[in-house]
Structure 1
Amino acid sequence: MNAGAPHMNRVRVGGGSPTAHHDVAIVGAGAVGLLLGCLLARRGLDVVVLERRETPGERTRAIGIHPPGLRALDAAGVGAAVREASVPIRSGVVLCEGAVLGTMRFHGEPIRSLPQRDTEALLAARLAEVAPSALRRGIRVTGVRDRGTHAEVFVDGDAAIAAAYVVGADGIRSTVREALSIEVRARRGTGEYVMVDTVDASDDGDLARLHFEPAGVVESFPLPGGRRRWVARVRRAPAVLEPRTIATIAAARVGVDLEADAMDRPAAFTARQRLADRFAEGRIALVGDAAHEISPIGGQGMNLGWLDAVHLDRALAAALAGGASAAPHEAFDAYAAARRRAAIRAMRQAAFNMAMGAPITGMRLHARNAAVRVLAVPPMRGALAAAFTMRRL
């Protein structure tokens, strides 16, 4: 516990013995929850981060770190470490059936590529530096409640953890959101994808490739350690996904020979768009995937969640600085309104991207390719690059 935290006191929970009262309790130690924990701890606030998993996840998951997300990591104190561990993506090319439709160059700070597990490890290490006892693993949260003067997080065994404010950073199947009876609604944009990380046998370097093929988009991005990620749109994910499945797709659509023996375990996922009706209620707020689910390709969801965390960090600091006389039920109003608008903008962009990469033939294919060519020339190219790098969120 942070000895310098100015807002600690003791409260009774559920009629039982006194429980430490934290400034903020964060449910979920993914990339977003860890970043928010680091931001709050750097302010000297008493924060606890509760995570169900005993150990960190091993899958690479999201890899794209966009310039606004990198600034958030800088604020948390891990930006330099992320730059050192990651590889840059400085440019991109869009192709169809071997023909170049357009190119983009990301001027200034490039997109960085780093597996999410590695980013989370850096954030967890940073949190351990600034708040050694903040991260608690193996804690399964079963519910939350706003008590008016504080909020409670219920965990296995009927215990409770009290805090001035609670944040649900517990993903698309959020227990916190469910406990608040907040509905999520589907929005436009969905698609089925398969992906795999493998040895990079190309000479593409820091180049991202987007093959807008008739059978569906095939994308590839550089990874650290001489590896590369391949993502392909499919009409329906196969019931059994093997490395040779993705190798066959890459060979058939873009003529690239991927070695199945050099691949990590492949994965299939559904990119969908869903938005929570509310991002906050009383002393409890939602952040990241708990508030909005968007396409994870390119790290869009992760970066959007980090920008949520930056806004939420400021909102929480202001609320806690106001003391007991502040209006706690209004602490998240501005945050919720601003970040809901940002999520809607991000979903529109993700839906557009998914539509551009969907299977398409005939005249529609020609019209799509013509549109890509228009978007790839000034001044549209600059606007498109800004959208892809999430500079407007």
Structure 2
Amino acid sequence: MPRADAHREAQPRREASGPSAAQPHHDVVIVGAGAVGLLLGCLLARRGLDVVVLERRTERGGRSRAIGIHPPGLRALGLVGLEPEVRSHAVEIRSGRVICRGRVLGALSFARAGTVLSLPQLQTEDVLERRLEELQPGSLRRGVEVVGLRDRGTHVEVAGTAGGEPVHVSARYAVGADGVRSGIRHLLGLGWEQRRGRAHYVMCDTRDDTGEPSTALLHFEPAGVVESFPLPGGGRRWVAWVHRPPAEPSAQQLETIVRSRTGAAFDVDDAGVPSAFEVRQHLAERMSRGRVALAGDAAHEISPIGGQGMNLGWLDAVRLDHELAAALSAGAPFEAFEAYDLVRRRAAARAIRQAAFNMAMGAPAHGLRLAARNAAVRVLAIPPLRALLANAFTMRWL
């Protein structure tokens, strides 16, 4: 992924190409080999397009973030032939239940809306990377840090470094899928608008001792929400709202929070390494400029709980695949991303509003506010609103 501190002289600009201008070597260059960049690479490669994916990291690593694969995201994976393999690795979340002080406020079945799959993002990216190598061997280039970008009007030139050596890549179009701290967004000079919704959470993966291996449990407690989701291999992810995240979170701290709020507990000795994170929401002022588009977290930062951000990014990739294929077959016009920018930015704004609502529902509440929130949950869990709530949870509206 590119640095966000590139010099001003590296800012992209549209320039007319003369007789000596370099011809593009690729159809599309994608910056960032996360879940979104890899899926877009697979989608384009399956069409026979010449795609190259540049990634700063020399190898995949870090902790898994998103785990939820919603029905629209699963359909996107199916376009590149990965639905059967993903299903074989994942666990199904067939239902959800909202609880407060031991009382069930509402229950949802996802039988009609579509089952949500749970699979750690690192495993999902591994599946996608292997598929990209099958479709177009050698198209992923790791260890390349992008530091410059120029839109020449007829093509895009990307400058980077790899092992201290300069790297130059040219393509008819470029896509920045390089995450929240997107260097491509910075090089394009696009604003990063903060939206409503901000909260702190601590998270840990444990052995599932709930006895409900296919149910998402949402504890809307007075002291703040505690959520837990099934994981493959008999695991469960616990996520808890906190007023201020600890400097070095421990499994013991999270277990204490879970037990004090919900009465549930998990085996600390069998827990993974916990983490703390802050949820903030942003939307790029535009999702494209000239021959360069943004996708996924580079275009919109959304609460990661439940996998909304990853699935939204995959839908960006599906739309980009359609727009790029049409543009390349029509002679690669300059204005290829106008419809994409309009449609996907609206979708991101809707997702941000829903995530902000979800965070507000999970914040601490007492007295009349707690009673009003619980009453609202009960109403939403009654037909026909229950079907609408299930559709929202599974992201079918995107």
Which interval holds the TM-score relative to the shorter structure? Answer: over 0.9
Q: Secondary structure at the match of 1:356?
A: helix
Distance 1:278 1:212 in 2: 35
Q: Percent identity?
A: 61
Q: Give the equivalent residue in structure 2 for 1:122.
A: 127
- Report which stretch shifted further, 56-65 or 127-136: 56-65
Contact 1:143 1:175 in 2 (8 A): no
TM-score (norm. length: structure 1): 0.94
Q: Give the equivalent residue in structure 2 for 1:265.
A: 273
Contact 2:213 2:234 in 1 (8 A): no
Q: Secondary structure at the match of 1:40?
A: helix
Note the 1:248-259 alignment, pairs <5 A.
248-259=256-267
Aligned residues: 378
Q: Give the equivalent residue in structure 2 for 1:75.
A: 79
Q: 1:304 aligns with which of 303, 306, 312?
A: 312
Matched residue type, 1:362: G
Matched residue type, 1:251: R
Distance 2:101 2:19 in 1: 68
Please report how far the alpha carbon of residue 327 of structure 1 lies from its aligned counterpart in structure 2 after TM superposition: 2.7
Contact 1:51 1:135 in 2 (8 A): yes
Contact 2:24 2:155 in 1 (8 A): no
Q: Give the equivalent residue in structure 1 for 2:53.
A: 49
Note the 1:153-172 alignment, pairs <5 A.
153-156=158-161, 157-172=165-180
Residue 333 (structure 2) pairs with residue 327 (structure 1): yes
Q: Give the equivalent residue in structure 1 for 2:39.
A: 35
- Report which stretch shifted further, 149-158 or 223-232: 149-158
Residue 180 (structure 2) pairs with residue 175 (structure 1): no
| Unmatched segments (≥5 aa) in structure 2 | 1-16
Q: Secondary structure at the match of 1:221?
A: strand
Please report how far the alpha carbon of residue 360 of structure 1 lies from its aligned counterpart in structure 2 after TM superposition: 1.0
Residues 248-271 of structure 1 deviation map (CA, whole Å, 9 limit, x = unaligned): 101101111211111110011111
Q: Give the equivalent residue in structure 1 for 2:255.
A: 247
Q: Give the equivalent residue in structure 1 for 2:350.
A: 345
Q: Give the equivalent residue in structure 2 for 1:223.
A: 231
Q: With CA pairs under 8 Å and 6+ residues apart, which has the higher RCO, 1 or 2?
A: 2
Q: Give the equivalent residue in structure 2 for 1:87.
A: 91
Contact 2:24 2:156 in 1 (8 A): no
Q: Give the equivalent residue in structure 2 for 1:336.
A: 341
Matched residue type, 2:338: D
Distance 2:300 2:227 in 1: 24
Please report how far the alpha carbon of residue 143 of structure 1 lies from its aligned counterpart in structure 2 after TM superposition: 2.2
Residues 281-332 of structure 1 deviation map (CA, whole Å, 9 limit, x = unaligned): 0100000000000000000000000000000000000110012xx532x100
Distance 1:17 1:250 in 2: 61
Residue 74 (structure 2) pairs with residue 66 (structure 1): no
RMSD over aligned CA atoms reads 1.6
Distance 1:111 1:143 in 2: 39
Q: 1:318 aligns with which of 326, 330, 346?
A: 326
TM-score (norm. length: structure 2): 0.93
CA change 1:81–1:141 in 2 (3 A) is same
Contact 1:19 1:161 in 2 (8 A): no
Note the 1:369-388 alignment, pairs <5 A.
369-388=374-393
Please report how far the alpha carbon of residue 17 of structure 1 lies from its aligned counterpart in structure 2 after TM superposition: 11
Q: Give the equivalent residue in structure 2 for 1:198.
A: 206
Distance 2:19 2:132 in 1: 32
Q: Secondary structure at the match of 1:117?
A: helix
Distance 2:206 2:19 in 1: 55
Residues 341-392 of structure 1 deviation map (CA, whole Å, 9 limit, x = unaligned): 0001101110110000001111100110001000010111110110110001
